[in-house]
Amino acid sequence: MRYTKDHKLRTRRRIVEQSARGLRTHGAQGVGLADLMRMAGLTHGGFYCHFESRDELVAEAVIYGMDQTVKSWLDRFSQIPPERRCEAIIDDYLTAKHRDNPGKGCVLPALAADIARGGLDVRRAFATGLEQMIDVIAIASPSRAGSSQRETAIAILAMLMGIVSLARACADRELSDEILASGRDAMRRHFVQAH
Amino acid sequence: MRYTKDHKLRTRRRIVEQSARGLRTHGAQGVGLADLMRMAGLTHGGFYCHFESRDELVAEAVIYGMDQTVKSWLDRFSQIPPERRCEAIIDDYLTAKHRDNPGKGCVLPALAADIARGGLDVRRAFATGLEQMIDVIAIASPSRAGSSQRETAIAILAMLMGIVSLARACADRELSDEILASGRDAMRRHFVQAH
DNA sequence: TGTACATCAGTGAACGCGCGTTCACTGATGTAC
DNA sequence: TGTACATCAGTGAACGCGCGTTCACTGATGTAC
């Protein structure tokens, strides 16, 4: 065996990282392998040293992207008292910065529709990642009579991704900003416990 | 001029109708012109008698699809007393039937992400359609202190599309059903005024 | 420690395919007489 | 009313291009001696 095992693993990781970014930016079908490999500093020919197919890469990129988001949320939680966490997630997620940088942002608004049309492997990867996201958000969700934290977490995730999706699709900048602002207000009203 | 003017217009309309369906099913980049024309009972060569480019068709299909949804909502409203309208929209939208038939369903969960990456024309078409959807939902939205009906309408739309998007992307049928059910419960709780 | 060899991550040309678009042609039907 | 012509919606072959995938090759580095 030549090159250390570590070397190959790190290269593979770089491909997944950069592909996660490229796929979120351009969509699951909107960018080619040659471009994704170039983003990782490689040429397209080497792709099949690391993956069996394009679909395998997409599935890995989805997992990677969702893990990234989960980790960033957990990081954020560690800096913030429990009762402020939900508010913090909402405020971080519903920003112009997030709207304008899908490549660095959450997988849900960027790729959910593509994943819905994808193969079983991608959709399985998504379901696993989503369970994790639900679990993390549930920690921060307000407890109320008549609904579990898990139920609330699902509602929060859906609303977060819906708001960013709509804001991104509008050509009209004013409307897009309004969607972000209205969405943020509504979410604060519904999901942040007064204190 | 041969064939009546009406004939050409009806053919064009048929292409837009069927393309709206095909594009929602397979994504804005997931289906070719030849297939879309075949859905309308034509061959691909005739396409440029009706449209300047593929992008023009996509923009028209987006408008058509959003109009369809708006009209179906207005139809529904006419059968139902005002205080039940919001609940009816929620219950109609968040069904397994809607989740499992993107081709017949709402443009938002099917195409919003693709539109966000599309050209200015498609995004303009989307913004126009979205304004209409907001206006219609606003009619049915509960009025509350501290938030306009328009603001509430935006929140409702985002949450509806988010829930269906997440439910569609999960390979795990159980999780998908749970998302629909939790989403429906949460929306009823937040947006349906008790009476 | 130094040298010859083996390994395999990565390169770049080539492939077959489907795509959006173009174009010469067809043939059904409206119009002019 | 009947006939010859003009129109143009629609056909299907052809185009150039980019894609995912394959493959013969390279050359940097680990290993054996």
pLDDT band at A82 (very low <50, low <70, confident <90, very high): very high
Q: Is the pTM of this model over 0.85?
A: yes
Residue A1 has pLDDT above 60, yes or no: no
For the stretch B145-172, pLDDT in tens is 889 999 999 999 999 999 999 999 999 9
List CB contacts (< 8 A) between A66 and chain B. none
Q: Note whether B186 contacts A: Cβ–Cβ < 8 A.
A: yes
For the stretch A40-75, pLDDT in tens is 999 999 999 999 999 999 999 999 999 999 999 999
pLDDT band at A143 (very low <50, low <70, confident <90, very high): confident
What integer best gives the mean pLDDT of chain A? 96
Categorise residue B184: left if φ over 0, alpha if ψ from -120 to 50, beta otherwise.
alpha
Give residue B101's identity as a one-letter amino acid code. Answer: N
Which residue has the least CA–C1' distance to nucleotide D14?
Answer: B45
Q: Note whether A150 contacts B: Cβ–Cβ < 8 A.
A: yes
For the stretch B168-192, pLDDT in tens is 999 999 999 999 999 999 999 999 9
CB of A54 within 7 Å of some strand C atom = no
Q: Note whether A145 contacts B: Cβ–Cβ < 8 A.
A: no
- Name the percent of chain A lying above pLDDT 70: 97
Residue A186 has pLDDT above 80, yes or no: yes
State residue A145's pLDDT score. 80
Counts for chain A of helices (H) and strands (E), in that order: 10, 0
Distance between CA atoms of A148 and A159, rounded to whole angstroms? 17
For the stretch A167-179, pLDDT in tens is 999 999 999 999 9
Contact B159, A179 (CB under 8 A): no
Contact B159, A155 (CB under 8 A): yes
List CB contacts (< 8 A) between A160 and chain B. 162
Q: What are phi and psi of A132, to 5 degrees?
A: -65, -45
